[in-house]
Structure 1
Amino acid sequence: MMRLLLLREARRAWRAGAWLPIAFFLLVAALIPFGVGPDPRVLERIGVGVMWVAAVLAALLPIERLVEPDLADGTIDQLVLRGVSEEWIAASKILGHWLGFGPMLLFATFPATILLGSEGAGLERLLVGLAIGTPALAALSVAVAALTAGLSRAGALAGLLLLPVAIPLLIFGAGEGPSALKFEAATALALLVGSLFVTAAALRAARR
């Protein structure tokens, strides 16, 4: 059942336009040189941080379709009646959301770093940081989507809820050195586990 749920979530992500977060990510990378100037030293200094901010916002783009449609049409009720726990539903949505934007986002870092002049060590640092952090971003997005499902202007509210929580991940992800990656990994793991249980609790509350 978990495999079927995962395949369903991944198909939904791609059908709904998985390219949109990637296009947004690359668009940010292309526009930054126009805003701060073409100085390669400036671009290299801010490149990793800018790409992390773009990654956080890209994860937010599909947030209104992650949970609300399944609650509205009764899909989650049917899954629970068939014995699927809310935790399994939450896990499938988190993994499905990550598959919809995470791998492509990592691939998009190659042209993005070229645009920002952060090749070499900057590219490696960004790739490793995003590989560690994007699953946590996916988990946060699903948790916030579950908390805001059914509310008016859920997209704007989701951003207000997610961005403050994602700040530690962004700080450590954009940091330098092995210690920053260790703190990022610990933060990402805590956010991933916490978001899983928050999502499950929000789904239970929404069904009552």
Structure 2
Amino acid sequence: MKALLLRDLRLAVRAGGGFGLALAFFLIVTMLVPFAVGSDSQTLARIAPGTLWLGALLACLLSLERLFALDYEDGSLDILATAPIPLEGAVIAKAAAHWLTTGLPLTLAAPVLGVLLHLPGPGYGVLMLGLALGTPALSMIGAFGAALTVGLKRGGLLLSLIVLPLYVPTLIFGADAASRAAMGQGASTPLLLLGAVTLGCLALLPFAAAAALRVNLR
């Protein structure tokens, strides 16, 4: 699993579809919002948590289509399916590589972009904590969606249609936690729910994704 993780990290960096593309998209979304809603600082501060979470969520979608597609095209996925490690382990390794090249950089960049949206000071720590808790779920859900659509031509649109509804609980709890913190309220409840969603995804979806891969490889 470690070798597979390192391999996917190297491929993501070489292909240019990792953290650079996701961060650029995240930055563009954040910069466009003031043009759409105006430059009033109070308005931007009110919508900042939801905007940052939505930008991070959409940025995570960018590289999902290639999560298993390249391995499927060159036959590596067939080798992984018959390798000594369980296919569920391969799914976890690929989701972890996606998070390290996408979710983690977005988490670290969010406070910097929050300055552009006048995010209140108390919201920064909870925003980062929420993204750290929630982005692994986004990567794992994305891996499940990529496993369902692997081998399909132009499966990117179908992948988005499958994944986006599953992202809704993570988006709701993450944005709510940051919003509550920004207003000086307690954010422990949405953070606990966000962590529960992530743990549930990590516990169940590797098996679902592996089953989907086995069906698509038959």
Same fold, TM-score > 0.5, yes or no? yes
- CA distance in structure 2 between the partners assigned to 1:81 and 1:195 by the alignment: 20
Partner of 2:183: none
How far is the alpha carbon of 1:29 from its aligned partner? 0.9
| Structure 1: gaps spanning 5 or more residues | none
- CA distance in structure 2 between the partners assigned to 1:125 and 1:42 by the alignment: 20
- CA distance in structure 2 between the partners assigned to 1:82 and 1:125 by the alignment: 41
1:187 to 173, 194, 197: 197
- CA distance in structure 1 between the partners assigned to 2:73 and 2:85 by the alignment: 18
- CA distance in structure 2 between the partners assigned to 1:26 and 1:125 by the alignment: 20
- CA distance in structure 2 between the partners assigned to 1:195 and 1:53 by the alignment: 22
- CA distance in structure 2 between the partners assigned to 1:192 and 1:51 by the alignment: 23
- CA distance in structure 1 between the partners assigned to 2:204 and 2:87 by the alignment: 14
CA RMSD after TM alignment: 1.2
The residue type equivalent to 2:192 in the other structure is: K
* TM-score, normalised with respect to structure 2: 0.91
2:141 is aligned with 1:140: yes
Partner of 1:124: 125
- CA distance in structure 1 between the partners assigned to 2:205 and 2:81 by the alignment: 19
Closer/same/farther in 2, CA of residues 82 and 162 from structure 1, 3 Å limit: closer
**Deviation larger for 109-118 or 77-86:** 77-86
How far is the alpha carbon of 1:80 from its aligned partner? 3.1
Tell me how many residue pairs correspond in the alignment.
207
Partner of 1:103: 104
Question: What are the equivalent positions in structure 2 for 1:54-65 lying under 5 Å apart?
Answer: 54-65=55-66
Partner of 2:208: 198
2:5 is aligned with 1:6: yes
* TM-score, normalised with respect to structure 1: 0.95
> Per-residue CA shift, 1:50-109, capped at 9, x if unaligned?
111111111110122110111121112223333222111101101111111122112211
- CA distance in structure 2 between the partners assigned to 1:103 and 1:8 by the alignment: 18
Answer yes or no: is the 8 Å Cα contact 2:149–2:155 preserved in 1.
Answer: yes
